Structure 1
């Protein structure tokens, strides 16, 4: 390897893509193409970076399997950064095996963590934890150690374990500081900001306040009767009553919880649950049926009792009742939560991460764009979506299934 290639590689490792480009910008040999691709990726031009890396992989000879595998890993990293989450990981797995077989264990570990981070973005927390456990043991260089701790923190935040997330981010910050790579340090800072940002809104007794993650964790561990509007469930000290598949029951439950300790008039419950303007006798009969179903669903957690003008919630073992809601409620809050990470997403990647159809996500994006809450760039398959400004809320931590802590 000549001196210019070595110097360019060192510049990239130190997070200096412009320094690398000045050394190899005019060269067309395979190593230079690969380094130019990496530099363009660090500068944010992902399509150009992918093209250069594919050219480099074709230019490397048949005896340079390690170099080709490194190009595949670099392309997978670009796909992760640009939120291209669909498709198979077989090429990445094959590249990792090639690197391991040829003794390039550092880049093989990097490939492994790309796969783990993809699992985290898709909300597959159990798979992410198993992959982390399998990767633990071998010593890691500071950059990969920082990535490892970022993933550990990401899982802990989605599991609502604030203390564990905080400890992992402190370890990530120390490792990132050792590398001196600005982009890595900025990623750790962004994750730390997310941890301390408001994660939910607490509505109780006519008042509301924003809660950071640690307060949400403490609330769910307490005796408080919580109606979780983020995941459509009722929670109290480890017990959960899921109502995500029963929207009428959840609408009634939320209305009763917001009014607690007072009752709710029948007309208000009918309007909230059935979206009816007038509560005639048929709607009142249906309301009684649905409230009976709600009583059976709640079991020993609470009773719904009739009053002179309506119904009231009576928790059996709690002296506090409230609703845990999104910081900013929207019909498309889950889509906004993912867009809030500051990266650009394709509609197919959003659909994959949310477990929904791509068409429903596209309709949500179009609605958000019309309201000025989202914007897009590119056309066709190259179209990417993002929020105009970071929302300032850690809504990703409270996404419904599949990003659930259950």
Structure 2
């Protein structure tokens, strides 16, 4: 490798893409194309970066498997940043295996981190954790250690293990300072904000207050009966009853939980569950049916008792009933939760991340756009949606993840 290529690679490793381009901008050989692609990615021109890396991968000879694998890893990172979740994950896995086989442990670790970050983004926490299990990051350079700790912190945050998350963020901050890369330091600082920003609202006995992640963790371990409007479940410390696919039943449970220990008039339940303004006999009959179904679903946790004017929630054993609600009630909160990261998303990527149909996501985006909450650019398959982070609307509890891992 010649001196200019070596100098450009060192510049990229220290976060100086312009310094790298000065050395290889006019060259068309494979190593220079690869370095130019990485530099353009650091500068934010992802389309040009992807094209350069593809050209570099083609230009490397059949005996340069490691170089081609590095190009694949760089392409995978661009796909992740541009939220191209349909990018072939098997190609990244094959590239990581090639790098490990040839002793390039630093880039192999970077590929492992990218695999885990993608799995974390779509809520497959167990798989993300297994990718990093048993891996020792202490031998990595500071930038790679910081990236590794950010993934560890992300998994811990989603699982509401706040002590582990703070420890990982502390290690990431230390490694980022050692690396002295401003963009990496800013990424760590942005991730740390989640720990100090209200993540949900607690509604209990008519009083409402914000909760930090540590407080949410403590609440879910407290033994209280929690109607969780972030995940659409009803739970205590040991049992979870999911109503995510039963919106009417969850609307009834939330309304009863917000009013506890008082009862709720039938007219209020009809309005919240069915959208009806007046409770006629058909509404009352339907309400009785749905309340019966709710009793069956919650039989291990609580009963729904009839009163003179409506219904009341009665826990099976003496304890408080509380509602855990998002920081702001939004009709398409899950979509906003992803868009709040400030990146541009395609509707197909959002559908993959949410586990929903593309048409459902498109309808949500169109309604949010009509309300001025999101904006799009591009056309057809190149169309992307984005919004700046919404102040006061942290999103951790709305992102997908294992219910049992709270």
Matched, 1:187 2:165: no
**Secondary structure, in 3 states, of the residue corresponding to 2:88?**
coil
Give 2:55's aligned residue.
Answer: 55
Q: Deviations over 1:203-253 (max 9, x none)?
A: 222222221111111111113221111111111222222112222221111
The answer (yes or no) to whether the contact 1:18–1:39 under 8 Å persists in 2 is yes
Give 1:126's aligned residue.
Answer: 126
C-alpha distance in structure 1 between counterparts of 2:279 and 2:167, whole Å: 54
C-alpha distance in structure 2 between counterparts of 1:67 and 1:337, whole Å: 37
Q: CA deviation at 1:137?
A: 7.3
Give 2:44's aligned residue.
Answer: 44
C-alpha distance in structure 1 between counterparts of 2:136 and 2:297, whole Å: 42
Question: Do the aligned partners of residues 98 and 41 (structure 1) sit closer, same or farther apart at CA in structure 2, a change above 3 Å counting?
Answer: same
Give 1:219's aligned residue.
Answer: 219
C-alpha distance in structure 1 between counterparts of 2:140 and 2:403, whole Å: 28
C-alpha distance in structure 2 between counterparts of 1:92 and 1:305, whole Å: 55
Give 1:2's aligned residue.
Answer: 2
- Greater displacement, 41-50 / 335-344: 335-344
Question: Do the aligned partners of residues 136 and 392 (structure 1) sit closer, same or farther apart at CA in structure 2, a change above 3 Å counting?
Answer: farther
C-alpha distance in structure 1 between counterparts of 2:403 and 2:310, whole Å: 36
The answer (yes or no) to whether the contact 1:226–1:236 under 8 Å persists in 2 is yes
Matched, 1:393 2:389: no
The answer (yes or no) to whether the contact 1:227–1:253 under 8 Å persists in 2 is yes
- Greater displacement, 295-304 / 185-194: 295-304
- Greater displacement, 131-140 / 80-89: 131-140
Question: Do the aligned partners of residues 64 and 349 (structure 1) sit closer, same or farther apart at CA in structure 2, a change above 3 Å counting?
Answer: same
Give 1:280's aligned residue.
Answer: 280
The answer (yes or no) to whether the contact 1:223–1:317 under 8 Å persists in 2 is no
Matched, 1:203 2:203: yes
TM-score (norm 2): 0.95
Question: Do the aligned partners of residues 300 and 348 (structure 1) sit closer, same or farther apart at CA in structure 2, a change above 3 Å counting?
Answer: closer
Aligned pair count reads 406
- Greater displacement, 156-165 / 285-294: 285-294
Unaligned stretches of 5+ residues in structure 1:
none
C-alpha distance in structure 1 between counterparts of 2:321 and 2:116, whole Å: 38
- Greater displacement, 94-103 / 249-258: 94-103
Q: CA deviation at 1:398?
A: 3.3
C-alpha distance in structure 2 between counterparts of 1:403 and 1:226, whole Å: 13
Q: CA deviation at 1:274?
A: 2.1
C-alpha distance in structure 2 between counterparts of 1:26 and 1:151, whole Å: 36
**Secondary structure, in 3 states, of the residue corresponding to 1:41?**
helix
**Secondary structure, in 3 states, of the residue corresponding to 1:198?**
coil
